[in-house]
């Protein structure tokens, strides 16, 4: 079932096109990873999708209804986790959740139950009545997520929810995201950490310069690109002769040595692993071998020519 869709959406800022005829869909119960270098249009797309930003062309649908900036009924079915932490640091965690629950018209006793369950879900029960200005960065991030969850949204939009936090809090958040998906929540997730997207996303959409340039599962995206093949080889005798023999193997582009450990880079589709092993066996034998598989990072670099962490503004 389709939860949200953008059709041919255009957004301009003073002559600059931020979204250039963007098409995007979210299916019920999936985690969609939205990736792109800075300036790709990700945050503009998110704000348009949730109704915070008017668009100049195209159409947006949420829950089979037309989205627009005045559609308050649709907003109540959405939770937005902003990249900037939007909590009140002079309030306790519980008081923050009371405030945000009140914005959605949730009253006691339902509100008390929701706050209790949400605090437990993000692992802040023991800190419920502490002032949030004393929280660590990771705790603030988790409370930021809790404020977007307290009304039990059907669609959760998460814009860089793990920026600048410790590994323990990051793992807690990623586990929580998976649990929400498993419970039926649809999640749109943007991140500058490629490994996060590869670990949790059911599908990936890659944007650049206001366009959607690729989408699919991680495996589908990897199959679409021509990537270099890498073999890590540890040999018994890393002699100059072996290095020359390896460089002469068909498809080999580069051989790098660090002691007995060799990194061999071949062109896509070279299928020369057996030949590489045969060369190494004739020169002291093979101690270990590992063929590196391409990753989502390889796909991203191949499609955009940029690192996901380049620059500052989205």
| Positions in the chain short of pLDDT 50 | 310-314
| CA–CA distance, 31 with 94 (Å, rounded to integer) | 28
* Degrees to nearest 5, angle at CA 299 with 295 and 302: 135
The answer to whether the 2-223 and 228-292 domains have the same CATH topology is no
Q: Which two tokens stand for residue 213?
A: 């340039």
Domain positions in the chain: 2-223, 228-292
pLDDT at residue 15 in the model: 81
Please report the beta strands in 97-222, taking only residues with DSSP state E, as ranges in sequence order. Answer: 155-159, 186-190, 203-208, 211-216
The yes or no reply on domain 228-292 and CATH 3.30.300.180 is no
CA distance 27 to 3: 5
Left (φ > 0), alpha (ψ -120 to 50) or beta: where does 313 sit? beta
What pLDDT does residue 230 have? 87
| In 89-188, alpha helices (H) | 93-103, 110-121, 137-149, 167-182
Asked if residue 109 has a cis previous peptide bond (ω within 30° of 0), the answer is: yes
Give the pTM: 0.81
Q: What pLDDT score does 226 carry?
A: 67
Region 2-223: CATH code: 3.40.50.300
pLDDT of residue 311: 43
Element (H, E) at 66: strand 65-66
Check residue 48 and give its pLDDT.
Answer: 95
pLDDT of residue 71: 77
């Amino acid at each position: 079932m389709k939860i949200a869709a953008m059709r041919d959406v255009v957004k301009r800022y003073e002559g600059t096109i931020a979204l250039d005829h963007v098409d995007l869909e979210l299916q019920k119960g999936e985690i969609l990873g939205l990736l792109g270098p800075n300036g790709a249009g990700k945050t503009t797309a998110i704000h348009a999708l949730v109704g915070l930003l008017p668009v100049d062309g195209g159409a947006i649908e949420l829950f089979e209804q037309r989205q627009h900036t005045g559609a308050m009924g649709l907003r109540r079915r959405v939770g937005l986790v902003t990249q900037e932490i939007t909590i009140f640091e002079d309030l306790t965690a519980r008081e923050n959740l009371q405030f945000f629950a009140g914005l959605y018209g949730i009253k006691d006793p339902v509100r008390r139950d929701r706050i209790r369950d949400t605090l437990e879900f993000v692992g802040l029960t023991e800190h419920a009545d502490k002032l949030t200005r004393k929280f660590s960065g990771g705790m603030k991030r988790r409370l930021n997520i809790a404020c977007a969850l307290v009304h039990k949204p059907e669609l959760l939009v998460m814009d860089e929810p793990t920026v600048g936090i410790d590994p323990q809090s990051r793992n807690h958040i990623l586990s929580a995201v998976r649990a929400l998906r498993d419970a039926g929540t649809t999640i749109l997730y943007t991140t500058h950490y490629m490994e996060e997207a590869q670990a949790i996303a059911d599908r990936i959409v890659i944007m650049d310069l206001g366009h959607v340039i690729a989408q699919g599962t991680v495996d589908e995206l990897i199959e679409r690109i021509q990537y270099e093949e890498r073999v890590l080889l540890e040999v018994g005798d890393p002699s100059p002769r072996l290095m020359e023999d390896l460089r002469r193997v068909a498809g080999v582009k580069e051989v790098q040595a660090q002691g007995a450990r060799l990194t061999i880079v071949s062109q896509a589709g070279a299928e020369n692993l057996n030949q590489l092993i045969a060369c190494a066996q004739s020169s002291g034998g093979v101690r270990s071998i590992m063929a590196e598989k391409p990753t989502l990072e390889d796909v991203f670099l191949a499609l955009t020519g940029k690192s996901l962490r380049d620059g500052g503004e989205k």
